[in-house]
Chain A
């Protein structure tokens, strides 16, 4: 019996691993994920015409663990772009691999080392802030160009000339939110609820508080919670309600926000809720009661229900790749990253003869040169500052009848 059980368990484990591997291949048609495995794979590779330069782009992000939904979104979003780019048969082809960092800094560095063994040219990632800071200090020392779709802390790019962001920085969002509230007279008394165990949330909330003070906005309650696993927000909501807040700013991710909306309804508290880009994705949560989000306002660079043809094509291809999942802004930022890298590489002369550090310097010069502009899903005419921060206009949307409309 004992032996039988052991054999069964072992068989289960092998099966589980096989299932994992199979899955990853289906999802992304990437080269094998194991350390040291440097054979480029991918079923959709057509032989490159002569004179085409191949750039190896290595992505990093959480594919397993708590944050897996963000990592897979950036992985698939970029995959859609890579497939489109390679179908163009342009002067540059992208070869794409994506490694799992589980959202942990140490694993992120290990994933980066795996990509180095694969002779990577450009690093795409990482998805989340903490590993991104760790990986960026490595790429800075090793001279690899790095573009993150979604790690939004200013620490990611601070003192590193090689690190660039596709998303807004956290303080940038806080300031934009305060300006928007002031310009549109959204509320007279403002409450803030944020996660003070999270760099993203704290970064936005602090910049918002400073800007609100400067603009003379009346912030009547500032409440915090320690982690996204918190489930009870009645205390924080009561404080906002008792202070008479008619506008509540929620610079947090959508999972806790969905609970806050539900609990506010239970308390019959109905202020205007205003969120940052982390709120994007709430409407696509399985089983979410969309009526709870009615009237919610949020800043997001991407609207999957937009009708322009590029967005529609992207949503279509993404759904095919992900098995029906609707892309969020993480996916769209990933898509834009690939086009930014592609278009930049097309503009650099002699890109085929460069090693990764020469390419890194050339890309930095181009990105900060002032003339390089990218049109993507998350903005048109996007440019980058010297600091690595992106410059694009924030878009505020409002939820009406379960869908985004421009506010």
Chain B
């Protein structure tokens, strides 16, 4: 029974990683940049929800929507102010800017809301008891898994069926050619950031509902984990981020339960190294030879 309960814990943790990783992977796929501020957008989303429910007593659904709207706007703002001016700059400059934005958000949050840890009120509480109470699944875990599936299906449909989605794929393959075909590359990238940040808000609320503590640095560690998940699954690939996230969650939980609570991170990253040695582009990533 504990095996089954570990699987469930792993999948629900992995679902949250997967939602964050989807944001990373989409931005990387289209803008070819690692948005290290993504984890901090998660934190902002969680704080929005925290204040909306805790301070203003709004119903959970409204708070989540509010968090999504604020994060979407924040994502577009960050992209417009910090990344757009660097469109032609070397990728290293963009990377450093992203780290800078990450620090700006963290320290800004600390200035505004203080460094002390807050307790997040979960948007759903309670748990489902199965097999005569020997197996407990919290509703938050179920919600995280459901959200992850819905998000993943919607994104796949969006990128394969809609015009905007097709424009995104075109941009990710060749920005120059896409522009020649009449696709507005700038607005496509902004759109990608908007979607990624909206997902970050959802992930933030889910994460803080599952593990209810919140501080300005809440987002940084899950951000790094999710980045790992994205690389693990093949960065740039949407199903890859999903698979990577879920696997990472399961490996982490199993390593904790069966190997050692101290070494779980070491195990996770050792697996990552092995996968990258065998498949350098990640599990579902496409290997593109560099043209010289």
Residues of chain A having any CB pair with chain B under 8 Å:
1-2, 5-6, 8-9, 16, 19-20, 23, 64-69, 72, 196-197, 223-226, 229, 231-232, 234-236, 238, 254-255, 258-259, 262, 266-268, 285-289
Contact = CB atoms under 8 A, between A and B. Distances in A.
A170 to B, nearest CB: 19
A231 B111 contact: no
B107 interface: yes
B188 to A, nearest CB: 18
> Looking at A1, A196, A287, which has the most chain B CB atoms within 10 Å of its CB?
A287
B150 interface: no
A9 B81 contact: yes
A66 B119 contact: no
Contacts of B80: 5
Contacts of A231: 210-211, 213
Nearest to B218: A229
Query: Nearest 10 CB-CB pairs, A to B?
Result: A68-B115, A231-B211, A288-B119, A287-B119, A69-B116, A286-B118, A255-B117, A2-B85, A235-B256, A285-B119
B221 interface: yes
Contacts of A229: 217, 221
A229 B218 CA distance: 8
B115 A65 contact: yes
Contacts of A254: 117
A196 B262 contact: yes
Interface in B221-280: 221, 253, 256-257, 261-262, 264-265
Interface size, B (range)? 35 or more
B9 A287 contact: no
A67 B114 CA distance: 11
B85 A226 contact: no
Contacts of B213: 231, 255, 258-259
Contacts of A268: 133, 136
Contacts of B84: 5
A289 B115 contact: no
A289 B9 contact: no
B262 A64 contact: no
A287 to B, nearest CB: 4
25 contacts: A1-B85, A5-B80, A9-B81, A64-B110, A68-B114, A68-B115, A69-B114, A69-B116, A196-B262, A223-B261, A225-B262, A226-B262, A231-B213, A234-B9, A236-B261, A258-B213, A259-B213, A267-B136, A285-B117, A285-B118, A286-B54, A286-B116, A287-B54, A287-B120, A289-B119
A289 B121 CA distance: 9
A231 to B, nearest CB: 4
Given A68-B110, A225-B261, A232-B256, 14 more contacts: A68-B115, A68-B116, A69-B117, A196-B262, A226-B265, A231-B213, A235-B261, A254-B117, A258-B117, A258-B212, A259-B211, A266-B136, A266-B138, A285-B116
B127 interface: yes
A370 B40 CA distance: 53
Nearest to B256: A235
Contacts of A66: 115, 215, 217
B115 A16 contact: no
B176 interface: no
B108 interface: yes
A231 B104 CA distance: 24
A20 B107 CA distance: 10
> Looking at A223, A258, A288, which has the most chain B CB atoms within 10 Å of its CB?
A288
Contacts of B82: 9
B162 interface: no
A232 B111 contact: no
Interface in B89-122: 104, 107-108, 110-111, 114-121
Contacts of A258: 117, 119, 212-213
B225 to A, nearest CB: 11
A43 B104 CA distance: 31
B56 to A, nearest CB: 13
A23 B108 CA distance: 13
B184 to A, nearest CB: 16
Contacts of B110: 64, 68
B85 A6 contact: yes
B201 to A, nearest CB: 19
A69 B115 CA distance: 6
Contacts of A68: 110, 114-116
B2 A238 contact: yes
Nearest to A256: B213
A232 B13 contact: yes
A6 B81 CA distance: 8
B24 interface: no
A287 B50 contact: yes
Given A258-B119, A258-B213, A285-B116, A16 B111 contact: yes
Contacts of A16: 104, 107-108, 111
B211 A232 contact: yes
A5 B81 CA distance: 6
Interface string B39-71: 000000000001000100000000000000000
A197 B264 CA distance: 13
Contacts of A226: 261-262, 264-265
B97 to A, nearest CB: 10
Nearest to A263: B211
> Looking at A9, A229, A235, A266, which has the most chain B CB atoms within 10 Å of its CB?
A235
A23 B111 contact: yes
B19 to A, nearest CB: 16
Contacts of A69: 114-117
A356 B236 CA distance: 61
Contacts of A234: 9
B88 to A, nearest CB: 11
Given A285-B118, A286-B54, A287-B54, A235 B85 contact: no
Contacts of A8: 81
